[in-house]
Chains A and B, each alone.
Chain A
């Protein structure tokens, strides 16, 4: 008697659990499929095409083994683009973190002035790449730009250079415009990290006689570790896949001095070397995945240590 009752009950519990799981799956499925088809599927397809010599047009192609990957290593343009991407990322990340952190510390307390400043500083994230291109030439144009005007007015001649047209300077201009646009978001994430810090810890440190710097170094900063992690990962990933800002400011020029890997991928897809560009796209995707996970690991470990 009891055993049949037990099995029946167990059965009922199991059916209910199964039904709950099916419901969850039904909730997740539409989003999972669309995301899979639009984002993951094509990236996995790159994995297939990367081993072919498909031009991108027509039905015919051959498997060429690892040829595309071998060719990548001897491709001076790809090396240059990889270098540019790296320079952009390594220059942007620390600067954006420092500026964002400085602004967040200054504006962490809400108030009318600080709220307005936050809003203005965050505003550029809403500005489109194309309009950013207009603003770029408005600032950097060697004849009509604001910097040239500033150079004329102050006599500091080096400000009035051909920022976007000089292969040695164009990357500086791209990094500056990127900071102009994104430092506000970094600031916002740091502010989120600051407002969630318990006030008691700061108070206790103050009572113990810790000065402002000590309190920052030993209380604020360790508690800010998760925000540092998120900001670093976001900035590095954003840097490795930068495209819009390069496309609208310089189109990768002059002489390829600002062309990044994603910009090349977008421009090269039409050049009839589909298999080859799939190989480089796939490589960059893998680099980004590896770098992101490595960064997350390292930073999370430091969070725990701190």
Chain B
């Protein structure tokens, strides 16, 4: 490069500014996001490293690397925190609520999208309220209602609460996508004599696949990680979900940090796997739902 500049003097100044600019572009393009990504990864890496160390190692040097990986911490966390029960509860609640959100959300969005005029606008506005209003502020009143109908400390009750709170986002994303689907497909099926529900189930629902993926990722994350709903509605040991169990485990085991880190890794792992498997749909789903909606 230097010889190249030296041999062609007249152009040297221009190409050196161009050179400086290309360095600036490289810094911006690669170094900036790489620095941010490293800042994301460092604490996570230290949690994973920490979870593999012994208590003594941690006491001597809290920021060291594991010399001899201790998977025993995972066994301790799993058994002592009673994570097995919480795990099953979390899976049951998340799967049931996500299925509910997909079924009710896509159906409602279709009803809104395919009816004309004020009804459609009103339906859209009604669910859009849910994107703005903080459901958390209604929880005390909802708790009183749940007591009356016997849905407190009940996983089914929690599933209903999650479906209700997650529906607005799903309706919003589905509506945005439905607006881009041409009507002709449905009309030809209708000419063949299919009823509205048949058309929805066999034609529209499969077409919504990219949004299903987005809804699965976003609502699974929200429900799997939920803390506030379970703080309000769940009480008995056998019903607690992961956030509650790990929270109380944390205060009980606060002298054994490696085991706490192990419980953290156990909690995040399944949802991170889901995230990595599905993340490429997120970009597509958000583009279609958020910006066109």
Q: Which residues of A are at the interface with B, using a C-beta cutoff of 8 A? A: 20-21, 23-28, 30-32, 34-35, 37-43, 45-46, 49, 56, 99, 102-103, 105-107, 113-114, 117, 119-131, 133-135, 138-139, 143-146, 149, 180, 183-184, 188-189, 191-193, 195-196, 226-227, 230, 237, 240-241, 243-244, 247-248, 262, 265-266, 269, 274, 277-278, 281-282, 284-285, 288-289, 292
User: Which residues 16-58 of B sit at the A interface, judged by CB distance below 8 A?
Assistant: 28-30, 32-34, 36-37, 39-44, 46-47, 50
B115 contact from A21, A107, A117, A247, Cβ within 8 A? A21
1/0 contact string of B250-293 vs chain A (CB within 8 Å): 10000001001100100110011011100100110011001100
The answer to whether A30 touches B108, judged by C-beta atoms less than 8 angstroms apart, is yes
Separation in Å of the A143 CB from the closest CB of chain B?
8
Secondary structure call for the A interface: helix
Q: Does B66 contact A (CB under 8 A)?
A: no
Contact between chains at B141 and A278 (CB < 8 Å): yes
B213 close to A (CB within 8 Å): no
Asked if A117 and B34 sit within 8 Å, CB to CB, the answer is: yes
The one of B36, B137, B143 in contact with A183, judged by C-beta atoms closer than 8 angstroms, is: B36
Residue pair B228, A266 in contact (C-beta under 8 Å): yes
Which residue from A37, A227, A237 sits with its C-beta under 8 Å from B132?
A237
Residues of A within 8 A of B98 (CB): none
Residues in B whose Cβ lies below 8 Å from that of A143: 62
Whether A38 and B135, one on each chain, are in contact in the complex, defined by CB atoms closer than 8 angstroms, is: yes
A289 & B132 in contact (Cβ 8 Å cutoff): yes
Interface residues on B, range: 35 or more
Interface flag for B10 (CB, 8 Å): no
Query: Which of B1-9, B67-75, B179-187, B241-249 is found at the contact surface with chain A?
Result: B241-249
Once the chains are docked, how many angstroms separate the CA of A32 from the CA of B142? 16
Q: Is A24 a contact partner of B138 (Cβ separation < 8 A)?
A: no
CB-defined contacts of B264 to chain A, threshold 8 Å: 130-131, 134-135
The reply to whether A138 and B43 contact each other, CB–CB distance below 8 Å, is yes
Considering the complex, give the chain A residue whose CB is closest to the CB of B110: A27
Interface centre among A20, A117, A123, A131, by most B CB within 10 Å? A131
Residues of B within 8 A of A (CB): 28-30, 32-34, 36-37, 39-44, 46-47, 50, 62-63, 104-105, 107-108, 110-112, 114-115, 119, 123, 126-127, 129-145, 160-161, 163-165, 167-168, 171, 196-197, 200, 221, 224-225, 227-228, 231-232, 242-243, 246-247, 250, 257, 260-261, 264, 267-268, 271-272, 274-276, 279, 282-283, 286-287, 290-291
Residue of B nearest to A104 (CB): B33
Q: How far is the CB of A163 from chain B (nearest CB, A)?
A: 13
Q: Which residues of A contact B134 (CB under 8 A)?
A: 237, 240-241, 262, 284-285, 288
Q: How far is the CB of B82 from chain A (nearest CB, A)?
A: 15
Most buried by B among A40, A230, A288: A40
The answer for the CA separation of A32 and B164 in the assembled complex, in Å, is: 9
Distance in angstroms from B202 CB to nearest chain A CB is 15
In angstroms, Cα B39 to Cα A184, docked, is: 12
Tell me the smallest distance from the CB of A83 to a CB of chain B, in Å. 18
Contact residue among A32, A103, A144, A266 (Cβ-Cβ distance under 8 Å from B33): A103
Our pick among A103, A269, A277 for the contact of B36 (Cβ within 8 Å) is A103
Complex: chain A residue closest to B287, CB-CB: A192
Option from B39, B141, B167, B286 in Cβ contact (under 8 Å) with A49: B141
